Amino acid sequence: MSTPVYATPLHALTDDARVDRDAAMTAVADLLLALGHDPDAGDLVETPRRVADALIEMLSPEPFEMTTFPNDDGYDEAVVVRGVPFVSLCRHHLLPFRGTATIGYLPGDRLVGLSKLARVALHHARGLQVQEAMTMQIARTLETALTPRGVGVVVEAEHLCMSARGVRTATATTVTTAFRGELAHDDALQARLIGARTS
């Protein structure tokens, strides 16, 4: 008898509005002009296309299915995937922020394929984001798909809107956390997750 496996589709974070690539390229060309650069000059000719395509890629979450399976052996300790690298776009400056996510959960009746923990982070990184919201979205997705006893997410990132402009704190990183269920009240497990940073 086969073991049942359930897959929950994870939909895009944004509306299903169609992307207008041509309009995006025109907007980039207009921006270059407004900043004093001629988009028809030399090596800038392809820049509007390149920028539009890069932004479309970074703003398009890759759908996947959250495959879960029964916890037949009753595993009840934390499952943690550390150091998942990601790049996202700051919704305030349209500059990248990048770092790593550590994602863990305390299983209930179901387990999830380990690669799906990484995919959850990468899915939510695609879009106009703020790190705090992305951290909560990862936790919420795991809660919904698994109904675990607890969820913990730790995200550490460098923000180019801080390191490449403004205050220019090149070595500063930002850490955000989300602890749900039993993990919300377990200081020892929280410390293990927070201490798992790899950057």
Those residues whose C-beta lies under 8 Å from the C-beta of residue 145, and which sit 6 or more positions away, are 8, 10, 66, 68, 112
- pLDDT band at residue 74 using 50, 70 and 90 as cut-offs: very high
Those residues whose C-beta lies under 8 Å from the C-beta of residue 180, and which sit 6 or more positions away, are 139, 143, 150, 151, 152
The listed range with the strongest mean pLDDT (80-94, 167-181, 184-198) is 80-94
Q: Classify strands 79-90 and 150-159 as parallel, antiparallel or unpaired.
A: unpaired
Q: Mean pLDDT in the chain? A: 88
User: Would you say 90 is a known binding-site residue?
Assistant: yes
DSSP H or E run through 187: helix 187-194
Predicted pLDDT at 168: 78
Least confident residue range of 2-11, 165-174, 183-192: 2-11
The yes-or-no verdict on residue 3 having pLDDT over 80 is no
pLDDT tens, position by position, 122-166? 999 999 999 999 999 999 999 999 999 999 999 999 998 887 777
Q: What is the mean pLDDT of residues 48-61?
A: 94
Distance CA 30, CA 50 (A): 14
The yes-or-no verdict on residue 84 having pLDDT over 60 is yes
Q: Which fold has domain 6-11+66-194?
A: GTP Cyclohydrolase I, domain 2 (3.30.1130)
Q: Classify strands 128-129 and 79-90 as parallel, antiparallel or unpaired.
A: parallel
Q: What is the mean pLDDT of residues 104-127?
A: 95
Which residues are paired to 154 by β-bridges? 102, 177
**Amino acid found at 95:** L
- Any idea where the domains of the chain sit in the sequence? 6-11+66-194, 21-58
The yes-or-no verdict on residue 87 having pLDDT over 80 is yes
Region for residue 42 given its phi and psi (left: phi exceeds 0; alpha: psi -120 to 50; beta: otherwise):
left
The yes-or-no verdict on residue 48 having pLDDT over 60 is yes
User: Would you say 185 is a known binding-site residue?
Assistant: no
Predicted pLDDT at 16: 52
User: Would you say 93 is a known binding-site residue?
Assistant: yes
Predicted pLDDT at 1: 41
Distance CA 71, CA 180 (A): 20
**Structure-token match 């070595």, residue found:** 171
Answer yes or no: are the C-beta atoms of 112 and 66 closer than 8 Å. yes
Predicted pLDDT at 181: 95
Distance CA 122, CA 87 (A): 8
Beta strands in 20-134 (DSSP E): 64-70, 79-90, 96-106, 110-112, 128-129
Q: Nearest 5°: CA angle at 14, between 194 and 12?
A: 70
Answer yes or no: are the C-beta atoms of 75 and 60 closer than 8 Å. no
**Structure-token match 């269920």, residue found:** 181
The yes-or-no verdict on residue 2 having pLDDT over 50 is no
